[in-house]
Amino acid sequence: MPGLWFTVHDAQGHWLTEGDVPPEYARIGDALDSIGQARLGWNLGDPPRPTARVKRMDTAAGTVQIMTGPGGTVLADQLARLALLTLATVWLPGVLLMALATLVATPLVVRRTMRGLDRAAADAMRIDVEQRGVRLPVAHVPAEAAPLVDAVNAALCRLDEGYVRQQRFLLDAAHELRTPIAILQVRLEGLPDGAHRTQLLEDVARLANLAEQMLDAQRLRQKDIAFAPVDLAALARRVAADLAPLAIAAGYGLSLEDEGVDAMVVDGDHAALERALANLVQNAIQHGGRRGTITLRVLAPRTLEVADQGEGIPAEERERIFEPFHRLRAQTGGTGLGLHLAREIVQLHSARITVRDETGGGACFRIAFPPTAMTPHLPPRA
């Protein structure tokens, strides 16, 4: 484009010129730094006319002063360079700033939007068979994911209802089994003595025990327990007295060792603790090899033990035996629920149940209560 020239310079003294800049304006810009906008010209007898324009502009790259006017030749590519310069100094920094802001803001917006899903995922991790009734929150979930969360909550509701129906059925079935089992046991006891009668009575006893264990399992799942002071020494004496006939009939001796403890009290559910200790004794009767002596021990300050003189329990099986329906030796019978229920009861009392080798052979199950759960009462010294 003929007749066009311009100069651009910034506060750091950087200059850019294009076209034939008149000598009068080649460096005059240095003297016009404080001028925001002006028109420059001269009069040599002709009518005055502006020959240059000066303007200061604030850009993302800083403040620049542009001077332009006629009197030279600027080629098309020079004009294109001017456009690129304007783009680079005015528009490009703004675009880059917007892009940077977008890069910074987008993760924050996404993270805030996904926070609701993170909460829902955390709540979903808490859902299991023993932690029912949990529903995923919908309040802060993105609108696009809300239908999915609603559908999951509806499915959880149906699962809870099905679980309650199943547990109610098992509870009712266990209750209904008790009566015919009791009638059958009475009828068998009226039969003449003999090996066949003894075997039938043992089978009925296992059925009765299974029904009771099913009831115990439902009580534990419903947390249907009531804590009160329980005397462990008296509890052990009662269990030993109740199960002594069964142990003797199976070929065992049954002894109680209480180290002279008159009373040892813990805070717990009496019926549940009695069932746990009875399950350990019945396990010893079932798996003790039908020989030797089964020993109940009450150890100060907070321990109960049940030991037998059978084959013992391999170390690799000492955790698995507490799983429901796991039987170490299938041929010995048993329901596979007794040890599992014993551990559930013990854990509800903040106690621990472990198994070790008994001195001289056999297995020894130990229930250890925490110190805060009990107050030992020893007999006065003579």
The CATH number for 225-377, chosen from 2.120.10.30, 3.30.300.180, 3.30.300.30, 3.30.565.10, is 3.30.565.10
Burial track 242-270 (b if 16+ CB lie within 10 A, e otherwise) = ebbebbeebebebeeebeebebbbbebbb
pLDDT by residue (tens digit) across 240-291? 999 998 899 888 999 998 876 667 889 998 988 998 999 999 989 988 888 8
Q: Is residue 283 packed enough to be buried (19+ CB in 10 Å), middle (13-18) or exposed (0-12)? A: buried
Provide CATH 1.10.287 ranges for the chain. Answer: 128-224
pLDDT by residue (tens digit) across 206-234? 788 778 777 777 777 666 678 899 999 99
Residue carrying structure tokens 């750091």: 12
Q: What tens-digit pLDDT sequence spans the chain (382 residues)?
A: 556 777 887 777 777 777 777 776 766 656 666 677 777 765 555 555 447 778 888 776 678 888 888 754 444 444 445 555 555 555 566 667 777 767 766 766 666 666 777 787 887 777 777 667 778 888 777 778 788 888 888 988 888 888 788 777 777 777 788 888 888 888 888 888 888 888 888 788 878 877 877 777 777 766 667 889 999 999 999 999 999 988 998 889 999 988 766 678 899 989 889 989 999 999 899 888 888 999 999 987 789 999 999 888 888 888 888 887 776 665 555 567 788 889 989 988 899 999 999 888 889 999 999 876 444 443 343 3
Residues 6+ apart with CB under 8 A from 167: 218, 221, 222
Distance CA 124, CA 135 (A): 8
> What separation in angstroms does the CA of 216 have from each of 22, 220, 276, 344?
107, 6, 10, 10
Provide CATH 3.30.565.10 ranges for the chain. Answer: 225-377
Distance CA 214, CA 337 (A): 8
> Which residue in 230, 229, 234, 233 sits closest to 258, CA to CA?
233
Q: Helix (H, G, I), strand (E, B), or coil: what is residue 263? A: strand
Backbone angles phi, psi at 339, to 5 degrees: -70, -35
Distance CA 361, CA 332 (A): 19
Q: What is the largest CA-CA distance in the chain?
A: 151
> Which residue in 256, 253, 349 sits closest to 297, CA to CA?
256
Tell me the whole-structure pTM to 2 decimals: 0.54
Residue carrying structure tokens 């680079």: 88
Distance CA 253, CA 104 (A): 78
Q: What share of the chain is helix, strand, coil (3-state, %, to 5)?
A: 50, 20, 30
CATH 2.60.40 fits 128-224, yes or no: no
Is-contact 356 374, C-beta < 8 A? no
Structure tokens at 49: 């006319």
> Which residue in 172, 185, 240, 243 sits closest to 211, CA to CA?
172
Instruction: Sort strands 253-257 and 293-299 into parallel, antiparallel or unpaired.
Output: parallel
